[in-house]
Amino acid sequence: MKHHYILFICFILLLSIFSFHINAKYDKSKKTKMKEYKTISKRLAESFDTCGLDIKSKRSSSSNTISLSDVFADYEWDSVNTNSLKRPLVAAIHGTSKTLHTFQNALGYGYNEDQYRKHTIDVCEYVNDLASGKSQYAIQDRFMSYSKNVKNDQRIIIYIENFAKCITKSTLVLLNVFLDPWNGERAFLTTRFGETKISTNIIWILEFKDANMKQYDERILSSDDFRKVLEKIWTSDDTDNQQITGEAYLGRLSHILSIDENDNIKHECNNLLKSTPFDTSSSNNYSNTSSSTGFLTWVIVGIVILIGIYFVLNSNNSNTKNNINKKNKNRPADPFTYAPKSKKTSPSSTARKGRTKSKGTIKKKTR
């Protein structure tokens, strides 16, 4: 039984090593997330400040206390202490064409590392076949292609152009496609084939150009004005038959922001405008398997070690038993152990028999 205790001790040691490895991996992951958060926050603040981008608010309003960079920094902070991202960030952004172009490039500068998947799509490509459902299926498939091979704790940014131009009262049905992907902690993507994928790691940017908003004869001076106009646009004229109200659509949005460029634009902002940080293809699939592969290697090595120890101990135990048996066979009889007595004749009886035999022989010869 001794080798079983040794095997148990070895198992406990290996279990301790695995626990240490997991804790070290968690601490490293947390430190990495904190480092990423600080880097993103710093770069976003730098890019938005350099290009003079900020949230528009009414001068009389003091409720707007956050900056444009805080919108994204606060969202990234939520992911620091969690293994996976809690919810998507959905931001409707209003501004002039120039301001939105600057914003897109500044955002791309903040999320500049390779692990951030950045894509741009034009929503106008998906409003022609709404009655048949082909447009809805097509845009769902495209979203899934962006997310399919990306882990749930890795960031995806989807910039959707021309929302003001092509999502009108007549095409509101397309918004139903976004209800599940924007649904907070329960957000997920789906396709017509039944595929599903968690979408809490996606940042959705909805572009509303001021030139397209003017068709509604509204002057947008602040984010509050933008929200009121957006609610009107997303409310059907046939309210009796509208299954989802405009307010319900707005409830899916994390932020409704009208942005502007102030007079503090610096010369360095031109360098940001020259870049094209958002990719329109879906070929950028990021997978990080090194950490999982390393842990699996540890598990395999541990199992092999346990099996090796088990066979070595069994082999030693078997050899020990064989040696004991051999020694028992070759060992002389123990004088203190009981042994049955054999039938032995005493010398006197043997002599008597001899003498008797001799006498008989002599008698025969005399005769």
pLDDT tens profile 63-101: 556 889 999 998 888 777 665 568 899 999 999 999 999
Mean pLDDT confidence for 116-145: 94
The label of the residue with tokens 């634009």 reads 265
Cα–Cα distance for residue pair 158/154, rounded to 1 Å: 13
Looking at per-residue pLDDT, the higher value among 236 and 230 belongs to 230
Q: How confident is the model at residue 241 (pLDDT cuts 50, 70, 90)?
A: low
Mean pLDDT confidence for 33-51: 88
Q: Is the pLDDT of residue 320 over 70?
A: no
pTM: predicted TM-score of the whole model, two decimal places: 0.69
CB of 90 closer than 8 Å to CB of 253? yes
Q: How confident is the model at residue 317 (pLDDT cuts 50, 70, 90)?
A: low
CB of 207 closer than 8 Å to CB of 93? yes
Mean pLDDT confidence for 123-127: 95
CB of 90 closer than 8 Å to CB of 204? yes
Could you say which DSSP state residue 129 is in?
S
Please give the mean pLDDT across all residues of the chain: 76
pLDDT at 215 (0 to 100): 76
Percentage of residues of the chain with pLDDT beyond 70? 61
Q: How confident is the model at residue 285 (pLDDT cuts 50, 70, 90)?
A: very low
Q: Which domains does the chain have, with CATH numbers?
A: 2-295 (3.40.50.12190)
Mean pLDDT confidence for 143-147: 94
CB of 137 closer than 8 Å to CB of 191? yes
Which residue in 277, 213, 223, 233 sits closest to 255, CA to CA?
A: 223
Which residue in 233, 250, 276, 262 sits closest to 92, CA to CA?
A: 250
CB of 189 closer than 8 Å to CB of 178? no
CB of 83 closer than 8 Å to CB of 250? no
Percentage of residues of the chain with pLDDT beyond 90? 33
